[in-house]
């Protein structure tokens, strides 16, 4: 369980996290979503108290992270930036972390096997590829058998097999009743893994909703139509739930109808079509729209307030 | 995705150990000995501590016949035996800085502070572990340096001094004490500066640049101030004789310990306050 209240962090003039309040519940995978620079990694560092908040607070299992007697049993974290001494072997890295909590060597070996680093465990971590480094980071996160697992872009650098493994691992950890908090800037990845989403943009919370709900809002039919009689077609398909955007003369983007409906309408009206392309309901775009709208909305709101004042 | 319930492959563990100072010290011991840079720096320190006295003893022996009485009077057996300390302190200091700055440059510090979020146990453990290792590893070379240089000089029946002569044992072991304290001081500087190059530069400034600069001051000022510099106060523990303008061994050492404590105290305050 992670609970953030009015969490705010300034780096000089730059506000990286802005009044963020949310809670991450156990038993499900919670995705932490936001475009680059939106403050995901900063929030995670604040949770671990590696950085101190400018305002607000965050607790893990009811306490500040620093207050826990055995922090690695509370939270296992994979940070965005590499957190391994390049001159030390993977085995000794994990052993040194384990020893701070009196975790036995056997556990270190178990985790090295789990993440598939057995053959390179005695090699210096500086020679590891991106994916191997990521696996080492995951091993250190799971070392203490933590009740909360917090991973910053865990699939970064993993191959397709590794990505699937990660997805199953996260779901399995959640099914065991743990709190799982995973950041990503890839909506499509989160759609497959997360049960709940916390979405941020420019350090502020934009959405805090179940993935199912988020997707139903986001999806909608979008079809690209090219026709020499575009204006004619536009009249034919007009309807209450249909929006038509003219991209170029002769090129339309239609929301609210399937390609079959558009094709049928065109045939009935005798309109020639040169292209009829259903676009994948783009989660990324929906996500971008959402974050963009938020920023514009906030700006407009401010102007209104100023005007009223 | 499969229909059956998900179970993570992560084996559970019943273990729920808490963080203790002793456990953090064990962890720091693992960190220290598992790095190549540690082994190299300590080996270099070990060898320099022995090699330089052996070389000086050999050169002094071969030139003794052609030396003026004045030159001969200037030679002291303990200066020869502990000449290596002046050089090996660099290796120890660089390692002391690296023990902490190496974690910042690689990002390891984030892992360390995630495991030990109270942070201070890490600083105390690093100091204790590195200080102990530096001392224990530097005792043999100062002893070897003393007896080897004496053996070389004894073949020419010159500059003999007994280990049981008052102050000799203290000075010889004092060489190792000094090296340990230099390492701890450097570690404190490293923890304040958090950057390898900056830490080494700061150490070199305090130990090698400021002392000669004191010669620019009027002699009376120089005499009054210099003895309180860390390098001057620190070296009294391995000096057999003490001039009018230097502290005696134990006050000097106490002052140097004070400098180490000050560096660590500043480091401790900054450590808990700063973002990583
Ligand atoms: N230590 C720091 N000093 C100064 N600015 C920082 C620091 N850390 C983060 N920032 C700034 O705060 C903002 C948020 O950064 P953060 O890394 O948290 O974003 P993010 O959501 O993790 O992005 P990404 O998806 O690229 O990983 C950025 O504008 C970044 O430049
Ligand atoms: Mg990030």
Say how far apart CA B239 and CA A266 lie, in whole Å: 102
Contact B27 A99 (CB under 8 A): yes
Chain A contact present for B21, CB below 8 A: no
B45 belongs to a structural domain: yes
CB-count burial class (<10 Å; 0-12, 13-18, 19+) for A134: buried
**Helix H or strand E segment including A31:** strand A29-33
Are the beta carbons of B123 and B24 closer than 8 angstroms?
A: no
Question: Residues enclosing ligand 1, CB less than 6 A?
Answer: A 11, 14, 16, 34, 36-42, 80, 185
Ligand 1 atom 18: the closest Cα is on which residue?
A: A39
B12 belongs to a structural domain: no
pLDDT in tens, B23-38: 999 999 999 999 999 9
Say how far apart CA A161 and CA A138 lie, in whole Å: 15
Domain ranges of chain A: 2-210, 221-280
CA-nearest residue of chain A to B100? A85
Collapsing DSSP to helix, strand or coil, A239 comes out as: coil
Question: Partners of A192 in the beta sheet?
Answer: none
Minimal C-alpha gap between B195 and chain A (Å): 15
Say how far apart CA A300 and CA A41 lie, in whole Å: 28
Chain B residues within 8 A of A171 when measuring between CB atoms: 6
Whole-number Å distance, alpha carbon A209 to ligand 2 midpoint, is 21
Collapsing DSSP to helix, strand or coil, A83 comes out as: coil
Minimal C-alpha gap between A100 and chain B (Å): 5
Q: Label each residue of A92-147 as H, E or C.
A: HHHHHHHHCCCCCHHHHHHHHHHCCCHHHCCCEHHHCCHHHHHHHHHHHHHCCCCC
pTM for the whole thing? 0.86
**Tokens at residue B100, please?**
């902490």
**Residue B107: predicted pLDDT:** 95
**Tokens at residue A266, please?**
């065109």
B4 belongs to a structural domain: no
Say how far apart CA A207 and CA A284 lie, in whole Å: 15
pLDDT in tens, B140-187: 999 999 999 999 999 988 989 999 999 999 999 999 999 999 999 999
Per-residue pLDDT of chain B (276 residues; tens, 9 = 90+): 433 445 567 778 767 789 999 999 999 999 999 999 999 999 999 999 999 999 999 999 999 989 899 988 888 999 999 999 999 999 999 999 999 999 999 999 999 999 999 999 999 999 999 999 999 999 999 999 999 999 999 998 898 999 999 999 999 999 999 999 999 999 999 999 999 999 999 999 999 999 999 989 999 998 899 999 999 999 999 998 888 888 999 999 999 999 999 999 999 999 999 998
pLDDT in tens, A247-297: 888 999 888 787 888 999 999 999 999 998 877 555 666 676 666 655 544
Taking the CA atoms of B216, B220, B224 and B226 in sequence, report the sign of the dihedral they define: positive
Ligand 1 atom 5: the closest Cα is on which residue?
A: A11
B5 belongs to a structural domain: no
B1 belongs to a structural domain: no
What is the number of the ligand closest to the CA of A12? Answer: 1
B215 belongs to a structural domain: yes
Chain B residues within 8 A of A102 when measuring between CB atoms: 15, 17-18, 20, 23
Phi-psi region of B107 (alpha: psi -120 to 50; beta: other; left: phi over 0): left
**Helix H or strand E segment including B48:** helix B36-63
Whole-number Å distance, alpha carbon B88 to ligand 1 midpoint, is 43
Distances from the Cα of A82 to the Cαs of A35, A128, B29, in angstroms? 20, 11, 22
Collapsing DSSP to helix, strand or coil, B152 comes out as: helix
pLDDT in tens, A14-46: 999 999 999 999 999 999 998 888 999 999 999
Distances from the Cα of B193 to the Cαs of A200, B13, B166, B264, B273, in angstroms? 35, 39, 41, 12, 14
Answer whether residue A212 shows pLDDT above 90: no
Structurally, how many domains does chain B consist of?
1
Residues 6 or more apart in contact with residue A30 via CB below 8 angstroms = A24, A179, A180, A181, A182, A194, A195, A196, A197, A198
Please tell me which of the candidates A81, A99, A140 has its beta carbon nearest to residue B107. Answer: A81
Say how far apart CA B93 and CA B205 lie, in whole Å: 12
Ligand 1 atom 1: the closest Cα is on which residue?
A: A11
Contact A102 B23 (CB under 8 A): yes
R_g (Cα) of chain B, nearest Å? 23
The domain in which residue B150 lies consists of: 21-274
What is the number of the ligand closest to the CA of A80? Answer: 2
Collapsing DSSP to helix, strand or coil, A22 comes out as: strand
Are the beta carbons of B190 and B96 closer than 8 angstroms?
A: yes
Tell me the HSE value of B82 on the side-chain side, using a 13 A CA sphere.
Answer: 24
B31 belongs to a structural domain: yes
Taking the CA atoms of A85, A88, A91 and A92 in sequence, report the sign of the dihedral they define: negative
Pick the CATH number of A221-280 from 3.30.1240, 3.30.70, 3.40.50, 1.10.10: 3.30.70
Whole-number Å distance, alpha carbon A225 to ligand 1 midpoint, is 40
Residues 26-45 of B with CB under 8 A from A: 26-28, 30-31, 34-37
- Chains A, B: CB contacts within 8 A come to 139
User: What would the mean pLDDT of A235-241 be, rounded to a whole number?
Assistant: 86
**Residue A89: predicted pLDDT:** 97
User: What would the mean pLDDT of A115-141 be, rounded to a whole number?
Assistant: 93
Contact B11 A114 (CB under 8 A): yes
Are the beta carbons of A250 and A195 closer than 8 angstroms?
A: no
Chain A residues within 8 A of B19 when measuring between CB atoms: 69-71, 100-101
Say how far apart CA B215 and CA B274 lie, in whole Å: 38
Q: So what CATH class is A2-210? A: alpha beta
């Amino acid at each position: 369980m992670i609970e953030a209240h009015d969490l705010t962090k300034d780096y000089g003039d730059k506000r990286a996290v802005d009044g963020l309040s949310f809670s991450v519940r156990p038993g499900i995978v919670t995705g932490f979503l936001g475009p680059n620079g939106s403050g995901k990694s900063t929030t995670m560092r604040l949770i671990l108290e590696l950085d101190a908040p400018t305002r607000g607070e965050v607790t893990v299992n009811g306490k500040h992270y620093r207050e826990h007697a055995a922090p690695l049993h509370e939270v296992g974290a994979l940070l965005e930036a590499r957190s391994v001494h390049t001159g030390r072997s993977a085995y000794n890295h994990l052993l040194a972390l384990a020893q701070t909590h009196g975790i036995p060597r056997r556990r270190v070996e178990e985790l090295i096997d789990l993440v598939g680093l057995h053959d390179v465990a005695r090699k210096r971590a500086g020679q590891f590829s991106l994916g191997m480094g990521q696996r080492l980071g995951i091993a250190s996160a799971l070392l203490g058998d933590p009740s909360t697992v917090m991973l910053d872009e865990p699939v970064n650098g993993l191959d397709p097999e590794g990505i699937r493994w990660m997805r199953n691992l996260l779901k399995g950890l959640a099914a065991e009743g743990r709190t799982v908090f995973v950041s990503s800037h890839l909506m499509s990845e989160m759609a497959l893994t997360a049960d709940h989403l916390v979405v941020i943009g420019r350090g502020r919370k934009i959405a805090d909703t179940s993935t199912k709900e988020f997707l139903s809002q986001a999806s909608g039919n979008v079809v690209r139509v090219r026709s020499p009689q575009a204006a004619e077609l536009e009249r034919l398909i007009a309807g209450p739930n249909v929006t038509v955007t003219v991209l170029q003369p002769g090129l339309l983007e239609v929301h609210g109808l399937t390609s079959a409906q558009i094709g049928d309408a065109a045939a009935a009206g005798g309109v020639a079509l040169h292209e009829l392309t259903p676009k994948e309901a783009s989660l990324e775009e929906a996500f971008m729209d959402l974050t963009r709208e938020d920023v514009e909305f906030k700006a407009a709101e401010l102007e209104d307030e100023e005007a009223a004042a | 995705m499969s229909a059956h319930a998900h179970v993570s492959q992560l084996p559970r563990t019943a273990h729920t150990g808490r963080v203790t100072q002793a456990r953090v010290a064990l962890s720091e011991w693992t960190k220290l000995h598992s790095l190549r840079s540690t082994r190299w720096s300590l080996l270099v320190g070990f060898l320099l501590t022995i090699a330089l006295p052996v070389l000086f003893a050999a050169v002094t022996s071969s030139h003794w016949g052609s030396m003026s009485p004045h030159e001969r009077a200037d030679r002291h057996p303990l200066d020869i035996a502990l000449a290596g300390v002046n050089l090996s302190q660099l290796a120890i200091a660089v390692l002391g800085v690296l023990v902490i700055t190496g974690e910042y440059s690689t990002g390891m510090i984030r892992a360390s502070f995630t495991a030990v979020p109270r942070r201070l146990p890490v600083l105390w453990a690093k100091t204790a572990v590195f200080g102990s290792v530096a001392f224990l590893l530097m005792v043999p070379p100062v002893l070897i340096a003393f007896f080897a240089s004496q053996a070389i000089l004894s073949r020419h029946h010159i500059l003999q001094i007994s280990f049981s002569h008052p102050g000799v044992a203290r000075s010889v072991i004092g060489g190792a004490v000094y090296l340990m304290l230099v390492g701890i001081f450097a570690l404190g500087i490293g923890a304040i500066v958090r950057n390898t190059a900056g830490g080494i530069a700061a150490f070199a400034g305090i130990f090698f640049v400021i002392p000669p600069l004191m010669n620019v001051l009027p002699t009376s000022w120089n005499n009054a101030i210099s003895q309180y510099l860390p390098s001057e106060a620190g070296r009294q523990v391995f000096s057999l004789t003490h001039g009018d303008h230097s502290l005696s061994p134990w006050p000097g050492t106490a002052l140097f310990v004070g400098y180490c404590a000050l560096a660590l105290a500043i480091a401790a305050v900054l450590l808990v306050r700063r973002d990583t």
